[in-house]
Copies of this chain bind each other. A is one copy, B any other.
Amino acid sequence: MTWSKNHPRQRYHHGNLREALINAALKLIGEKGPAGFTFAEAARSAGVSAAAPYRHFRDRDELMADVACRGFEQLAEGLETAWSAGAPDALAAFDRMGRAYLAFARAEPAYYAAMFESQVPPDASPELTKASDAAFEVLRHAAEAVCALMPATARPPALMVALHVWSVAHGIASLFGRGDMARRKLPMEPEELLEAAVLVYLQGLGLGPDR
């Protein structure tokens, strides 16, 4: 039994190294942040030599970009679920989406870090650009439904609304939702802070819930 360790790869070939590396990356990023994540350690954690990962990723950044890509896909899925076709009404669904964004940042810090804190440029790969655009598209679509509630004469551009909401949600998540500035003492939970911001903002657009 001398060969038995945690995951004693006996076969020369791993069989599923690409996925194993991505999982290792996710675990490591979650534990030590995107900067602490190391190609070599991911390899070690998968039980292969330090050179093996280069058969599956051009370099460390490409792995990071792949993780970020999957993160955007998960985020899009989460937002889509929260929106759930705008039921029961667009405003309630919109609010759920905001919470879903913060929930994602909190529940998947590794994905979130890879997506936004890893220095990976958004155009690192076509897939990444596409995944990120797709996630935004979910929000944009919701914004369109919300804008449709307003009289056509005073209807703001849905794209602008989507950008505003994305920005404030991202700002809150970055500043207060996680490690970064999380130490700043908030008078409320990030979720409440975001909900209040969106409520005030929609009110400013003439979409008060009490009209």
**Partner-B contacts on A (CB < 8 A):** 33-35, 116-117, 119, 121-123, 129, 132, 136, 156-157, 159-160, 163-164, 166-172, 174-176, 179-181, 183-184, 186-188, 193, 196-197, 199-205
Contacts and interface: CB of A to CB of B under 8 A. Distances in A.
B119 A193 contact: no
A147 to B, nearest CB: 12
Contact of A197 (B34, B117, B168, B193): B168
Contact of A164 (B33, B157, B183, B196): B196
Contacts of A132: 181
22 contacts: A33-B119, A35-B119, A116-B174, A117-B117, A121-B180, A122-B180, A122-B181, A122-B184, A132-B181, A136-B184, A159-B187, A163-B172, A164-B193, A164-B197, A167-B193, A167-B197, A201-B204, A203-B203, A203-B204, A203-B205, A204-B204, A204-B205
A162 to B, nearest CB: 11
A164 B117 CA distance: 21
Given A166-B171, A170-B174, A171-B174, A123 B160 contact: no
